[in-house]
């Protein structure tokens, strides 16, 4: 496009120089009759006028179209880059915070499970310490003590079964939490990759916008050069019109002089020679003008066609980039949908966290109730054993004179 505009500018400049007169080639000065005939022929040629107007119109339309398209593309690319940059940072921060909260929650869950295991081990040790048998005092006491031990063992087995059930429930809950955390981590990694890809696309859009800005600056400079060339051509046309008026005045003066000196035969012969010379020069100029005009017209037509082809290519490129911008808008809509999905998952995770906290509280309350129940039962059995031992001692004291038991 710039090469076509350069060629058109050079053609206009050459046309302006030709309108001023031939600097080399047998023509006279600016005030001579030959330069006058050339300037008049150039200015009065309708084909050259039409071609000049079409060329100016094409240049104006091309410059306006380039500026408008480039400005629209630059503004659209800048808006898309700003939107992507504004949405990228909070989304990354929210995902990072969610990942950190999940990691801390996993650590807290692991610590709570370890504390539960330690508590269960303490309960087992406590039960084993409570269930350690003492030395029986007599055969009857040994039988009662054996029954008590069997009852304690049965109670301990039941407590161990309950503890195993609680432990299996805790293990299942731990496995479910770990699987859920792994799934969420995989989803977050995938979204992180998608965000990185969007960041790359935004950087590409920014680089494209910078290129468009450079092209717009170059086009503005070229338009300034064309405006300067148009101003120079306008000055040339004004100069030529002034010279034409002066030449018309000289022609009128020559006509008056010819009327005054009509009787002079030498003057008539000189005028005839001058007129014949002017006619010959006019015919030669018309022939050269027809040849040069045909070549210039063909060249200008070729340049106009090439410029139209370049404009079509530029329009196709702009259309393709508009399609790319629409695709970027679709990607942006998908990003909004992903953000809504992340928000929904966050709400579900908060609800699940509350339910898991409630379950842990219920398990803790059940564990404490079980431990208190076992402690109360053990204390009741201790009191019962003490009561049985006291009764046994009383029975032995009352039956001491009759039969003395043998202790081993």
Q: Which domain holds residue 208?
A: 2-131+145-256+315-390
From the CB of residue 15, how many other CB atoms can be counted at a distance below 10 Å?
18
In a domain, 189, yes or no: yes
In a domain, 109, yes or no: yes
In a domain, 296, yes or no: no
Write down the pLDDT at residue 117: 67
- Structure-token pair, residue 39: 């300037």
Are 349 and 185 within 8 A, CB to CB? no
Write the CA distances from 393 to 33, 41, 130, 170, 379, integer angstroms: 161, 152, 23, 48, 21
The total domain count for the chain is 1
Are 12 and 229 within 8 A, CB to CB? yes
- Structure-token pair, residue 104: 């801390």
Are 123 and 163 within 8 A, CB to CB? yes
Write down the pLDDT at residue 325: 65
- Structure-token pair, residue 211: 């290129």
Backbone phi, then psi, for 94, in 5-degree steps? -65, -40
Left, alpha or beta for 25 (phi > 0: left; psi -120 to 50: alpha)? left
In a domain, 239, yes or no: yes
Residues 399 and 254: their CA atoms lie apart, in Å, by 178
Q: Over its length of 408 residues, how does the chain's per-residue pLDDT go in tens digits? A: 545 545 555 555 555 555 444 444 444 444 444 444 554 555 566 666 676 676 677 777 777 777 777 777 777 777 776 776 666 556 666 666 776 776 777 677 667 667 766 766 776 676 666 555 444 444 555 677 677 777 777 777 877 787 788 778 778 877 777 787 788 778 878 888 888 887 788 778 778 777 777 877 777 777 777 777 777 767 766 776 677 677 777 667 666 655 554 544 454 565 566 567 656 666 665 665 555 445 555 665 566 566 667 666 766 676 676 676 667 666 666 666 766 777 777 777 777 777 777 777 777 787 787 778 877 887 887 787 778 777 777 776 775 444 444 433
Counting every residue, how long is the chain? 408
Cβ-based burial of 90 (10 A; exposed 0-12, middle 13-18, buried ≥19): exposed
In a domain, 294, yes or no: no
Identify which of 199, 242, 225 has the alpha carbon closest to the alpha carbon of residue 39: 242
The number of angstroms, rounded, from the C-alpha of 272 to the middle of its chain's C-alpha atoms is 82
Write down the pLDDT at residue 130: 56
DSSP character at residue 404: P
Helix-helix angle 46-130:2-20, to 10 degrees: 160
Write the CA distances from 86 to 92, 188, 205, 327, integer angstroms: 11, 20, 15, 19
Identify which of 318, 311, 315 has the alpha carbon closest to the alpha carbon of residue 1: 311
First-residue to last-residue Cα distance in the chain: 121
Residues 111 and 106: their CA atoms lie apart, in Å, by 9
DSSP character at residue 407: P
In a domain, 221, yes or no: yes
In a domain, 402, yes or no: no
Are 213 and 66 within 8 A, CB to CB? no
Residues whose CB is less than 8 angstroms from the CB of residue 222 and which lie 6 or more positions away in sequence, other chains included: 2, 5, 63
Backbone phi, then psi, for 32, in 5-degree steps? -80, 170
Residues 387 and 84: their CA atoms lie apart, in Å, by 82
In a domain, 102, yes or no: yes
Residues 49 and 233: their CA atoms lie apart, in Å, by 13
């Amino acid at each position: 496009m710039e090469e076509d505009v350069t060629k058109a500018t050079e053609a206009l400049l050459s046309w302006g120089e030709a309108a001023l007169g031939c600097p080399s080639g047998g023509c006279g000065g600016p005030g001579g009759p030959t330069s006058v005939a050339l300037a008049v022929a150039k200015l009065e040629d309708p084909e050259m006028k039409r071609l000049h107007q079409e060329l100016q119109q094409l240049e104006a339309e091309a410059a306006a179209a380039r500026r408008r398209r480039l400005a629209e593309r630059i503004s659209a690319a800048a808006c898309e880059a700003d939107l992507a940059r504004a949405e990228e940072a909070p989304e990354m921060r929210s995902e990072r915070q969610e990942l950190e909260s999940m990691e801390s929650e996993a650590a807290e869950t692991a610590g709570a499970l370890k504390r539960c295991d330690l508590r269960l081990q303490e309960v087992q040790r406590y039960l084993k310490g409570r269930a350690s048998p003492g030395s029986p005092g007599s055969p009857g006491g040994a039988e009662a003590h054996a029954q008590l031990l069997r009852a304690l063992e049965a109670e301990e087995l039941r407590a161990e079964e309950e503890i195993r059930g609680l432990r299996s429930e805790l293990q299942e809950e731990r496995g479910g939490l770990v699987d859920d955390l792994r799934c969420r981590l995989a989803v977050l990694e995938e979204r992180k990759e998608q965000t990185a890809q969007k960041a790359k696309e935004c950087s590409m859009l920014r680089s494209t916008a910078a290129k468009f800005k450079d092209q717009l600056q170059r086009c503005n400079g070229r338009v300034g050069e064309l405006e300067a060339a148009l101003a120079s051509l306008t000055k040339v046309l004004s100069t030529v019109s002034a010279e034409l008026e002066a030449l018309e005045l000289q022609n009128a003066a020559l006509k008056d002089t010819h009327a005054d000196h009509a009787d002079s035969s030498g003057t008539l012969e000189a005028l005839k020679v001058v007129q014949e010379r002017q006619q010959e020069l006019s015919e030669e100029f018309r022939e050269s003008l027809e040849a040069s005009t045909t070549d210039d017209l063909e060249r200008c037509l070729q340049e106009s066609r090439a410029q139209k082809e370049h404009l079509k290519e530029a329009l196709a490129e702009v259309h393709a980039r508009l399609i790319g911008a629409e695709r970027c808008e679709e990607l942006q809509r998908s990003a909004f949908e992903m953000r809504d999905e992340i928000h929904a998952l966050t709400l579900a995770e908060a609800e699940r966290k509350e339910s898991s906290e409630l379950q842990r509280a219920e398990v803790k309350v059940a564990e404490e109730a079980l431990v208190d129940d076992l402690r109360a039962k053990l204390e009741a059995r201790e009191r019962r054993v003490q009561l049985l031992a006291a009764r046994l001692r009383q029975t032995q004291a009352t039956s001491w004179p009759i039969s003395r038991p043998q202790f081993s």
